[in-house]
Amino acid sequence: MTRLPPQPGEVIDRSRPVDFTWNGRAMSGFAGDTIASALTAGGVRVVSRSMKYRRPRGYMSNDYWDPNGLVQVGDDPNVRSAHRLIEPDMAVEAQNVWPSLEHDLRAVTGLASRFLTAGFYYKTFMRPMWLWPTYEKVLSTFSPGGRIDLDTPHRYHDKRYTHPDVVVAGGGPAGMAAALAAAEAGAMVLLVEHGHRLGGHLLWGDDHDRTLAAELAAAVEAAGVEVLVDSTVTGRYEDNWTAIVQRNHPVAVERLIKARAKILVAAPGLIERPYVFDGNDKPGVMLSGAVRRFVNMHAVRPGSNAVVFTANSDGDAAAADLKRAGAKVTVVDARRGEGIVRALGGSKSVRAVELADGRRLDCDLLVTAAGWTAPTSLLNMACDRPVYDEATARFFPSVPIGNVLATGGLAGDGSPDELIDHARATGRLAAARARAVSHRLQAATARARPVDGEAPGWPPDIRPALPRVPHPALFRSTTHGVVDFSEDVSSKDMVGAATEGYDSVELLKRYTTATMGPSQGKLETVNTVAVLAEARGQTIAEVGTTVWRPPYAPVTMGALGGRLFEPQRVSSIHPWHQANGATFMLAGQWIRPDHYGDPAGEVRNTRQNVGIMDVTPLGKLDLRGPDVPKLLSHLYTNKWMKLAVGSVRYGIMCAEDGVILDDGVTGRLGDQHYMMTTTSSGAATVWEWAENWLQTEHPDWRVHVTPVTSGYTSINVAGPESRTLMRRLAGDVDLDPEAFRYMQVRTATVAGIRDCFMWRIGFTGELSFELHVPAGHGLAVWEALLEAGEDLGVRPFGVEAQRIMRLEKGHFIVGQDTDGLTKAPAVGLRHLIKLDKHDFAGKPELAWALEDPSAPVLVAIQPTHHGRVVPDEAAQIVRPGTNEIIGRITSSRMSPSLHRPVCLGQVLPEVSDPGTELTVVMLDGRRITARVMEHHAHFDPDGVRVRG
């Protein structure tokens, strides 16, 4: 047991013991313990094994970044055990071990480490080629992470946007002081701390440090700063779009906060850097900060016989902490030229250390305090490139970026007072700049409150720079050791890679995978660069670093995905469809009835009696103004200047490249009032297309386009009895065939509902009325139709029945029978392209396309003597006896009306003549013959029914 008596700064609650398990073994700790502190208190030393060589590893940095501390907690893999607090009954397991932590059989690779240099896998396993898949499987058993449970649900996550004036990343003394000063200057401030409480490194400091932390935290709270702990600023994106992950939300598992920070203050402090030497990854080799956190925050003594190799006051403080905790301590002081050469001992623990002067000291704990790495990543995400400072042996942010400011350890050193002064100045500057940004935003925003006064100027940065305390440049001893602990890359590997030519930092990274593991270089970047610089005989500044990229700390997919916003659209009749056995299909965002159990029956009923279909998703644009005909003429390929009131016309729209964009009918409801319909999926596109022409090329045309798609519930009433049915409900309209003819439109009162309109058109090929009812009454009219037509045999039909009927009639569907290259002449409606109009979208291409003899054309196709074999949609049409593709079936169905398969297809012009025999390759490989038909319409080619 290494738990110490109560320590003045401990964060554990000894009155609340917590039981959990470690690899199935019962363990206990106290509330406030991290998994790491509880395990260490329980005497556990080895917590994981290294990725490649399976070497036993213990805690090294004892913080979120500890590369050795990743564990599995229940279904949660790669949990940072030095950050995650223990909870009752938590099941913690070592990961990356096989079969167990104590006896990892793959540790044999460790013996072979001399041969398994970085990139060894690129040099082996090539022959014989057929064995590679087996090698691959073996290699993949070395994958280092935990495991996921495929049944884990995506739990309740959440997101929030916020627009604070200042976001402060880091709740150490600097961050707190900056937040405080900014709030005092009137800014709305969000302070985000990665750890479980405010205080930063003061939390594991002395009494004076902790008092300072408590005072600052209280002041921050009092100043109205919004504080988030156990939360991380994970990224800074364009225009200060700042990502924050909040892990302690009361309702959501995790919450992603997207803050549009006017100013971002980075105060992430510094990260302690490991030292490279032989044996530096043995359990018991630790950083000074790790020791201080164990002792001072969790009252755990990580060893009893310590050697402390120190180059700075933190190492000295760690030595003092250990002494106070009752350990035997020997100090090796780098500032006096002393050094360590290698750690000795068994694989499971350090037992001794060899010093530069040849001495050998026994120990069970080897502490290093060799310097700091500046986590400049948030600034780098704002395009700043860090510059190396020889004197302090660390990188600093370079060019100050206007809306991102750095303070605290990132910006320099100094006494607590100096640091807090700098941070306060930073907070004030942030507040002043935020005011300037805010003023600009408000002044430019239409809906905002009018601004007071002149726009404030951009406050200059006149903060005095922080001092920089020189620090010895300690990266590697005279021996080689591990540089990247999570990737198991040694300095020797790196030297080897550089010799092979992977001698720029980017190539070295990719070849050795150094800095590519879970800590993303926070511990290892500078050592990597230093080793490379040494190998190349260059300076660290010349070598430079790799690029830091988001996220600052790994973020769960759940938090990023959040709740999925996947909008769905339904018509007013939807509840009826649900209650009456519809099978639904998704059409973009729309949920539509595909059928009500028997699509073929729905077809038959519609052809024999009368069917009704909910066609609400049909795009509807209300067009008003004197220049609507000009707009129509421009959008459609045919003519529109002379459409009479009460008439409806069909048209095709093409893009500027002549490719079919959409089709539909437009009717004239009044003198300057038209209604356009588009395909269901084309509604938004066509609207924006129309606006584009009106706003950019023809701002002089007076037209108002208003989308009214769901303002009307649209119902297609089709079949021989449709007129009889409509007569019963729309008594105010003369429905006689002569009075209301095919391709005409009427406004009507239907079932008592005013302001409906209907037109006589028929995608199904039947006598039909397309009713458009103000949507708030759509369901009522639908039900009225069913009631009034019961004796006529009225039944609903769905999308599938409609697809069958339109195919029987040979109507094409944009996007199914046409594709991204299909131009208007190809679909057989050449007469709808009017080149004598002055201008319309795609005109030149259509002129050329009309002359193009090579483009595929759309034809109706029927299989010849394979009566009931329905060609598959997408079946290819080939030149007989070859695999040369000369067409394809685009639509195909068994026709319930004709009792034979009917198709549409695209074929090369040379095989498009009626009667041409085609070879269709079925999906199962069979080849059948089919014939090009004379008309697109397989059924009622003369259109007798539809005109009836």
Ligand X SMILES: NC(=O)c1ccc[n+]([C@@H]2O[C@H](COP(=O)([O-])OP(=O)(O)OC[C@H]3O[C@@H](n4cnc5c(N)ncnc54)[C@H](O)[C@@H]3O)[C@@H](O)[C@H]2O)c1
Binding segment toward ligand X, per CB under 6 A, in 169-177, 481-489, 619-627, 702-710:
169-177
Nearer to ligand FMN, 349 or 512 (CB): 512
* Separation between Cα atoms, residue 722 and residue 737, nearest integer Å: 12
If binding is defined by CB under 6 A, does position 58 make contact with ligand X?
Answer: no
User: Could you give the C-alpha distances from 767 to 213, 609, 740, 761, in angstroms and in order?
Assistant: 82, 11, 12, 8
Q: In Å, how far from its chain's centre is CA 212?
A: 41
Return the residues of window 497-536 that contact ligand FMN according to CB under 6 A.
Answer: 516, 520
* Partner touching 552 among other proteins, ligand FMN, ligand X, none, CB below 5 to 8 Å by kind: ligand X
Tell me which stretch binds ligand FMN (CB under 6 A): 531-539, 546-554, 831-839, 931-939: 546-554
**What type of residue is 654?**
C
Choosing among ligand FMN, ligand X, other proteins, none, which partner's interface includes residue 125 (Cβ < 5 to 8 Å by kind)?
other proteins
Rounded distance between C-alpha atoms, residue 526 and residue 372, angstroms: 9
Per-position x/- string for 60-79, each x denoting binding to other proteins as judged by CB under 8 A, each - no binding: ---------------xxxx-
Nearest to 55 by CA among 278, 353, 272, 306: 278
Sign of CA dihedral 445, 448, 452, 457: negative
Q: Which stretch binds ligand X (CB under 6 A): 165-173, 278-286, 531-539, 756-764?
A: 165-173
Q: 637, 846 in Cβ contact below 8 A?
A: yes
* List of residues 6+ apart from 593 with CB closer than 8 A: 577, 582, 583, 584, 585, 614, 796, 798, 799
Decide if residue 29 touches ligand X (CB under 6 A): no
Q: How far is the CB of 76 from ligand X (least distance, A)?
A: 21
The CA distance from 551 to 631, in Å, is 49
| Residue 598 lies near other proteins (rule: CB under 8 A) | no
463 binds ligand X (CB under 6 A): no
Which residue number, 64 or 636, has a Cβ lying nearer to ligand FMN? 64
- How far is Cα 14 from Cα 5, in angstroms, rounded to an integer? 10
- Pick from other proteins, ligand X, ligand FMN, none: which does 174 bind, CB < 5 to 8 A by kind? ligand X
Count of alpha carbons within 13 angstroms of residue 257, beta-carbon side:
23
**Nearer to ligand X by C-beta: 32 or 409?**
409
Measured between alpha carbons, how far is residue 731 from residues 282, 347, 413, 727, 762 in Å? 92, 95, 88, 6, 21
Q: Pick the binder of other proteins from 186, 224, 670, 844 (CB under 8 A).
A: 844
Q: Which of 27, 60, 71, 169 binds ligand X (CB under 6 A)?
A: 169
Task: Give the count of residues interacting with other proteins (CB under 8 A).
Answer: 172
Considering only 235, 302, 427, 611, the residue that binds other proteins (CB under 8 A) is: 235
Q: What is the H or E stretch that residue 257 is in?
A: strand 255-260
Contact region for other proteins (CB under 8 A) — 148-156, 219-227, 603-611, 714-722? 148-156
Residue 844: asked if its preceding bond is cis (omega within 30°), the reply is no
Contact 37, 13 (CB under 8 A): no
The dihedral formed by the CA atoms of 133, 138, 140 and 141, expressed in degrees to the nearest 10: 150
Task: Give the whole-angstrom CA distance, residue 771 versus residue 222.
Answer: 64
Whichever of 154 and 549 has its CB closer to ligand FMN, that residue is 549
CB of 850 to other proteins, least distance (A): 13
**Closer Cβ to other proteins, 75 or 333, answer by number:** 75
Burial class for 243, CB neighbours closer than 10 Å (0-12, 13-18, 19+): buried
Among 195, 521, 707, 778, binds ligand X (CB under 6 A): 195
Q: Which of 733, 716, 734 is nearest to 805 (CA)?
A: 716
Question: Is the distance from CB of 508 to CB of 493 less than 8 angstroms?
Answer: no
CB 772 within 8 A of CB 708: no
| Interface pick for ligand FMN out of 163, 335, 360, 549 (rule CB under 6 A) | 549
Name the residue type at position 115. F
Identify the three-state secondary structure at position 248.
coil
Restricting to residues 889-948, which ones interact with ligand X according to CB under 6 A? none
> Is the distance from CB of 659 to CB of 822 less than 8 angstroms?
yes
How many chain residues bind ligand X (CB under 6 A)?
Answer: 26
Task: Pick from 450, 464, 853, 881 the residue near other proteins by CB under 8 A.
Answer: 450
Toward other proteins, which CB reaches closer, 178 or 886? 886
Min dist CB 875 to ligand X, Å, is 56
End-to-end CA distance of the chain: 96
712 interface partner picked from ligand X, ligand FMN, other proteins, none, CB below 5 to 8 A per type: other proteins
Residue tagged 């790994």 (tokens): 554
The binder of ligand FMN chosen from 547, 645, 684, 847 (CB under 6 A): 547
Beta carbon nearer to ligand FMN, 520 or 528: 520
DSSP 8-state code for residue 124: S
**Which is closer to other proteins, CB of 731 or CB of 776?**
776
Q: Does 173 bind ligand X (CB under 6 A)?
A: yes
Residue 478 in the binding site for other proteins (CB under 8 A): no
3-state secondary structure of 91: strand
* DSSP letter assigned to residue 297: I
- Among 353, 314, 320, 351, CA closest to 335: 314
Q: Which of 943, 936, 942, 678 shows the shortest CA–CA distance to 807?
A: 936
What residues between 691 and 720 interact with other proteins by CB under 8 A? 691-692, 695-697, 702, 704, 706-712
* Nearer to ligand X among residue 179 and residue 889 (C-beta): 179
Q: Which window, 152-160, 303-311, 345-353, 393-401, contacts other proteins (CB under 8 A)? A: 152-160
Stretch that binds ligand X, among 170-178, 214-222, 665-673, 926-934 (CB under 6 A): 170-178
Two tokens, residue 410? 């990132």
Q: Are the C-beta atoms of residues 781 and 769 closer than 8 Å to each other?
A: no
DSSP assignment string, 173-209: HHHHHHHHHHHHTT--EEEE-SSSSTTGGGGGS-HHH
Check if the beta carbon of residue 871 is closer than 8 Å to that of residue 922.
yes
Q: Which of 224, 242, 225, 241 is nearest to 233 (CA)?
A: 242
Applying the rule CB under 8 A, the residues between 860 and 879 that interact with other proteins are 872-876, 878
Restricting to residues 259-278, name those near other proteins by CB under 8 A.
260
Interaction partner, residue 864 (other proteins, ligand FMN, ligand X, none; CB < 5-8 Å by kind): none
**Binding pattern for the stretch 618-647 against other proteins, x by CB under 8 A and - elsewhere:** ----x-xxx---------------------
Query: Which strands form 404-406's sheet, in the order they lie side by side?
Result: 226-228, 189-192, 166-169, 263-266, 404-406
Among 755, 791, 913, 917, binds other proteins (CB under 8 A): 755
Which residues 514-553 are close enough to bind other proteins by CB under 8 A? 516, 518, 520, 549-551
351 vs 698, beta carbon nearer other proteins: 698
| Contacting ligand X within 390-419 (CB under 6 A) | 408-409, 413, 419
Instruction: Give the nearer residue to ligand X in terms of CB position, either 232 or 919.
Output: 232
Report the distance separating Cα 517 and Cα 485, nearest Å. Answer: 9
Range in contact with ligand FMN (rule: CB under 6 A) among 493-501, 543-551, 700-708, 747-755: 543-551
* Interface region with ligand X, contact rule CB under 6 A, candidates 52-60, 98-106, 191-199, 585-593: 191-199
Q: Considering only CA atoms, which of 358, 373, 354 is closest in space to residue 309?
A: 354
Binding-site ranges for ligand X (CB under 6 A): 169-175, 192-195, 200-201, 232-233, 267-270, 289, 314, 408-409, 413, 419, 552
Binding-site ranges for ligand FMN (CB under 6 A): 516, 520, 546-547, 549
